Every structure is written in structure tokens, then in C-alpha cells.
């Protein structure tokens, strides 16, 4: 296992369309996932896509913590914890035209946070490391994190999805106002860093 270097905005690997994984059960894919999980944990992220670690393949890892799900439920939204998930060659189907704004951060765009519109209800499908089909419906933060990570596979970073760039800010300037939800991908790193 190894902690991998994370590509930052501007690196070409983050701008290209990633290639499908030919064999999800190949040993090098299992090794890549192990390293991505270690890297995500080290960085305090809630999701990571292979291009972020300089591997242009269609593979993402993510989870939704119980703490995050509880906070979502408390604010009256749909929210449930999601176990650590490896999703290979994912496809997303939008189940509603409805979108919602929510805060996002990205390990490839360190130090920043912005309000991003995302579809509120999706169905996603992909393969597991065992090569089995994994299909789920997702709402709220779960739907948001999957859309964010899958965008990485098409060379899209969250600022490109923003409709109002005036909400793009350095997290260190936000001052942790109580109404600000913790950003995704970097929530732990930001809280415990510096």
C-alpha cells in the first residue's frame, strides 16, 4: 500500500476523459484501489477518482459517513450513510430535473469551497472489484458525491459546474459559520489541518 500524489487543477490528467477499466478483477486494479483508499483516508477525503492520482481510468471510491448522514437528516433532507464503495466504469442516470445547491471541495482544488448545483436524485450503475454489477439510487449528499467523483472521469472539476462563482471561496476565509456545511472530499483535512 502507498499514499499516492494527488494531481491538482491544471494538471492535464484532470482534464481528459478517462478510459474504461478492461478487467475489474485484474491484480493491478486491486492494488490501485488499495492505494486510493489509503490516499483518501490520509487526505481526509470522502471520495477520490483515479485521475486524481494520475491514473486515467474510470474508477472512483467514496463513502458517506454516519455523521454526515445524521447532519443531513437533521436538516430535513434525505440522508443515509453509505459504506466505502468502489465503483468501476460508472454510469449515472438522472431521475429528476430538480437540482440543489450545496458546498463542495476537492482534493485537487485544495483550500477552496464553492456552491455547486447537482441533480438531487440519481441512479448509478457500475462494477465492483469482483466484477459484479452494482446499482443504487441516491439522493442528497450521496447523489452529490457520486456526481462529483464521476465528473472527474470526464475531465470536469466542480468549479466548471458552478453557476455563481461569487460563492467560490478559500475555506480559511469562511470562518466556519454554523450555517456552512463542512465541504466534501476535504472535510477532515480542513478541520484538523494547520
| Active-site choice (149, 185, 186, 190) | 149
Closest by alpha carbon to 91, among 139, 134, 44? 134
Number of residues located near Ni ion, criterion CB under 5 A: 1
* Integer Cα distance of 117 and 104 in angstroms: 10
Give 12's Cβ-side CA count (13 Å radius): 0
Q: Which residues, 43 to 102, sit near Ni ion by CB under 5 A? A: none
Minimal distance, residue 111 CB to Ni ion, in Å: 13
Q: Tell whether residue 106 is a contact of Ni ion (CB under 5 A).
A: yes
Minimal distance, residue 74 CB to Ni ion, in Å: 25
Assess contact for 95 and 137: CB atoms under 8 A. Answer: yes
* Integer Cα distance of 169 and 5 in angstroms: 24
| Binding range to Ni ion, per CB under 5 A, among 68-76, 88-96, 106-114, 173-181 | 106-114
74 in catalytic set = no
| Beta-strand relationship, 169-170 and 121-127 | unpaired
Q: Between residues 11 and 26, which has the closer beta carbon with respect to Ni ion?
A: 11
Minimal distance, residue 184 CB to Ni ion, in Å: 8
Binding residues for Ni ion, rule: CB under 5 A, are 106
Amino acid at each position: 500500500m502507498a499514499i499516492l500524489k494527488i494531481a491538482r487543477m491544471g494538471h492535464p490528467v484532470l482534464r481528459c476523459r478517462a478510459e474504461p477499466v478492461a478487467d475489474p478483477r485484474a491484480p493491478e486494479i486491486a492494488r490501485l484501489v488499495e492505494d486510493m483508499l489509503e490516499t483518501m483516508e490520509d487526505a481526509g477525503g470522502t471520495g477520490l477518482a483515479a485521475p486524481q492520482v494520475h491514473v486515467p481510468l474510470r474508477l472512483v471510491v467514496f463513502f458517506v459517513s454516519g455523521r454526515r448522514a445524521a447532519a443531513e437528516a437533521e436538516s430535513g433532507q434525505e440522508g443515509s450513510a453509505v459504506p466505502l464503495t468502489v465503483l468501476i466504469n460508472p454510469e449515472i442516470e438522472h431521475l429528476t430535473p430538480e437540482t440543489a445547491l450545496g458546498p463542495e471541495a476537492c482534493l485537487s482544488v485544495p483550500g477552496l469551497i464553492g456552491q455547486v448545483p447537482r441533480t438531487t436524485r440519481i441512479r448509478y450503475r457500475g462494477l465492483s472489484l469482483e466484477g459484479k454489477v452494482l446499482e443504487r439510487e441516491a439522493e442528497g449528499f450521496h447523489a452529490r458525491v457520486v456526481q462529483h467523483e464521476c465528473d472527474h472521469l470526464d475531465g470536469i472539476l466542480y468549479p466548471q459546474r458552478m453557476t455563481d462563482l461569487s460563492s467560490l471561496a478559500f475555506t480559511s476565509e469562511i470562518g466556519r459559520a454554523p450555517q456552512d456545511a463542512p465541504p466534501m472530499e476535504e472535510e477532515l483535512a480542513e478541520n484538523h489541518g494547520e
